[in-house]
Chains A and B, each alone.
Chain A
Amino acid sequence: AQSVTQLDSQVPVFEEAPVELRCNYSSSVSVYLFWYVQYPNQGLQLLLKYLSGSTLVKGINGFEAEFNKSQTSFHLRKPSVHISDTAEYFCAVSETGGFKTIFGAGTRLFVKA
């Protein structure tokens, strides 16, 4: 069975600074990987996904993530954050085929002025 670990529960960062949110996964088979964002009182919205191909994936709002198979990681990065990026970010994994997608515990990104 697959599992996901988000290594930081909270990440405070100043506006315009770079940020990296870390995600590690485990699975015995090939996986799909996702990052979702949840703004207060809203549902989850897809930021980006890795299905196959290039290991560097670009998403919405200037975010990108890199799939590292040897490290079983899928870290999310943004070179310069805005106040509006304050939200909770979830990493998710599903076995190829996309069933039973499992989410990590979430990382709360707090961008300070």
Chain B
Amino acid sequence: DSGVTQTPKHLITATGQRVTLRCSPRSGDLSVYWYQQSLDQGLQFLIQYYNGEERAKGNILERFSAQQFPDLHSELNLSSLELGDSALYFCASSVENFGTEAFFGQGTRLTVV
């Protein structure tokens, strides 16, 4: 158990819908990262938050947004969903950055039908 909790574990939804994925970081970790893992794109960095502030942005679509709340949990919002958004979404957390070791959650498997 990495200490990073992601909910839900599985999500099935229809095209055009909006979903929210939730991540609770390990106790004491201030940084949260979101990654998308799909068969054709591999593991893609989406976005990083540190203590509530956006710190780095990767290949995150405009239809996607994220935030980190004062209690340090994070949510990834995916809207106007397309079939191609079906993927495994991982959250990771670390004390500050990847150099201080990032721990990954088990992921949320999103299926868009």
Contact = CB atoms under 8 A, between A and B. Distances in A.
A44 interface: yes
Nearest to B96: A98
B70 interface: no
B99 A49 contact: yes
A103 B44 CA distance: 7
Contacts of A97: 97, 99
A51 interface: yes
Interface in B60-108: 90, 92, 94, 96-107
A90 B105 CA distance: 16
Q: Dominant SS at the A interface?
A: strand
Interface string B37-67: 0000011010010000001111000000000
Chain B interface size, as a band, is 20 to 34
Interface residues of A, number: 25
A101 B102 contact: yes
Contact of B102 (A46, A100, A102, A104): A46
Contact of B99 (A32, A36, A45, A100): A32
Contacts of A102: 45, 58
Nearest to A32: B99
6 contacts: A36-B104, A41-B106, A42-B106, A44-B104, A98-B96, A100-B58
Interface of B: 2, 4, 33, 35, 42-43, 45, 48, 55-58, 90, 92, 94, 96-107
